[in-house]
Amino acid sequence: MIVEQDLLVPMRDGVRIAADIYRPAGDGPFPVLVAISPYGKGKQSIQTLPQPPGSPIWDGGVEAGDPRFLTANGYVHVIADCRGVNKSEGEYRGWMSKQEGEDGYDLIEWIAAQPWCDGNVGMVGISYFGTIQLHVAAEKPPALKAIMPWNAVADFYREATHHGGTIQTFFFDLYTRSTNGNPISVTPEECTPEELVQRMEELKADPDMRMYTHLWHLVDNPNVNPSFFDVLLHPFDGPFYWERSAYTRYDDIQIPFYTRSAWWAYAHMHLTGTFRHLAGIKAPAKLEIDRPVDEERPLARSYDEEAVRWYDYWLKGIDTGVMDEPPLRLFVMGSNTWRQEQEWPLARTEWTTFHLRPWGGLTKESESLAESSDEFLQQPLSQTLKIESVDYATLPLPQDTEVIGPISLRLFAAIDEDDTNWIVALEDVDPAGNARELTRGYLKASHREVDREQSQPWEPYHPHLKAEPVTPGEIVEYEIALSPTANLFRRGHRIRLRVMSMDYRGNPRPAPGVSVVHYPWHVCSSRTVRHTIFHDANHPSSLLLPIIPAGS
């Protein structure tokens, strides 16, 4: 392997991007696989044994693939720092600014002109490395022939920073603390300096923000973390997020892609985007969803092997069989088996409504009572760590029941304040009472507006363009999407729905035998809120589940 480190590659505006280049030692030219992120190019090539997430030396930013394996299989591996971070010049404008896609175009075209490149380029890496592939592909560099966006975010607002309109501060913990960025991304057209100061003061006066003093400190001192300050400054969807969301550029992505994630996968982050890529990009595609475990770092050898199998087909013209397989490969929890499918949602799905009932029941039969409700009182984190909930469960299932697909909850409820967070979880409960959480959904009550044109019964779409405070005591209908799942509920198990309003770092904890360290947590209410859930004849709260017929 021939190694060149810290090369400075010029962009169209003269700013130079730092890159490390790993080339096979034999005669070229070769196809090239490119990885770009702000996480540090140098550490991607440090040779160490893969570490599980619980290891104290596990590093979530080592995600670019193994240069040794890729070069040994006839590929040049280029790993670059985004502009404005580490050894690259310029200013870092935060997550996936349009500048990053343009820089990716310039880097790929520079690579294509080098004597060691045969003119065929792909991209590798997961998470940030995966998401940036979509933004680069949308710029249409001629040499880029295919991409492999694994764990790639489609919607920056709904997946990465806000879940159901509620700030997801896990994004602050995971990403922006290691990649703060330089300037604050507010344009003069968006607000004047005086208006910016006013918005900062409004944020500092927010009682919820004051409860999270580390976030209040960030608003008071934006240069501590400009990237997350930008998120706090933009509580609603809009141009700031649209520029950084790959789904707004799907029409421009016209090359083959292979997308992948895992069930749960940081709640909405990564998982839901994978299905959105499949539905929105009109190009040859493959999708895979694995068991709900976090990846080792460095990435397991299976990642590099699959990258070679994908790119041998698209960049070398070798028939590896990768496109002869059905486009979807899904791991089904509960049975712990793999399933190959043709479409999403599955065409044979039997959409089945389960109604919330008194005494914590969850049945296919609706409620006939004129009045029926449950309630829970949630104190804020400043007073308790106890998460209150109301739970609804089926009787033990008479037969194995397979649930594969997106899920939605129709909830009729009242609160005694003007806002709250709705957090709902779906669980598989075994005969001994042990619960295994499968998925979650989120909705800030003041963001309940639904865009009917973009919604499906199983997937309501909220525009998140404004807040509409709730009238205390008024019964309101909420439509809440849960992340998709695939699970076999064994005979004798129960399907359980939990309705909550609070979470925090370290809660919930992974189920036994499931290694998922990246749980999100959200800015919750600083007030004590009473929640009343209605499930009577006039307020038929219900859960819509994608049941797959037995034997199908």
pLDDT per residue, tens digit, the chain (552 aa), is 999 999 999 999 999 999 999 999 988 899 999 999 999 999 999 877 888 877 888 888 899 999 999 999 999 999 999 999 999 999 998 889 999 999 999 999 999 999 999 999 999 999 999 999 999 999 999 999 999 999 999 999 999 999 999 999 877 777 776 676 777 888 777 888 899 999 999 999 999 999 999 999 999 999 888 888 999 999 999 999 999 999 999 999 999 999 999 997 665 678 999 999 999 999 999 999 998 877 788 999 999 999 999 999 999 999 999 999 999 999 999 999 999 999 999 999 999 999 999 999 999 999 999 999 999 999 999 999 999 999 999 999 999 999 999 999 999 999 999 999 999 999 999 999 999 999 999 999 999 999 999 999 999 999 999 999 999 999 999 999 999 999 999 999 999 999 999 998 776 655 544 545 556 789 999 999 999 999 999 999 999 999 999 987
Cis amide prior to 508 (ω within 30 degrees): yes
Full-prediction pTM beyond 0.75? yes
CB 487 within 8 A of CB 428: yes
CB 419 within 8 A of CB 313: no
Which residue shows structure tokens 């404008």? 93
**What is the fold of 2-154+245-325?**
Rossmann fold (3.40.50)
CB 124 within 8 A of CB 116: no
Rounded to whole angstroms, how far apart are CA atoms 516 and 462?
Answer: 28
Decide: residue 57, CB within 10 A, 0-12 exposed, 13-18 middle, 19+ buried: exposed
243: left (phi over 0), alpha (psi -120 to 50) or beta: alpha
Question: For residue 383, which phi and psi values (nearest 5 degrees)?
Answer: -125, -20
The CATH code of domain 350-548 reads 2.60.120.260
- Cβ-Cβ contacts under 8 Å for 27 (sequence gap 6 or more): none
Query: What count of other Cβ atoms lies within 10 Å of the Cβ of residue 551?
Result: 4
Which amino acid is residue 545, in one-letter code? L
- Cβ density class 535-546: b for 16+ within 10 Å, e for less: bbeebbbbbbbb
- Strand ordering across the sheet containing 328-332: 257-262, 285-290, 328-332, 337-341
Query: What count of other Cβ atoms lies within 10 Å of the Cβ of residue 190?
Result: 15
CATH 2.60.120.260 in the chain, residue ranges: 350-548
CATH 3.40.50.1820 in the chain, residue ranges: 2-154+245-325
Which amino acid is residue 43, in one-letter code? K
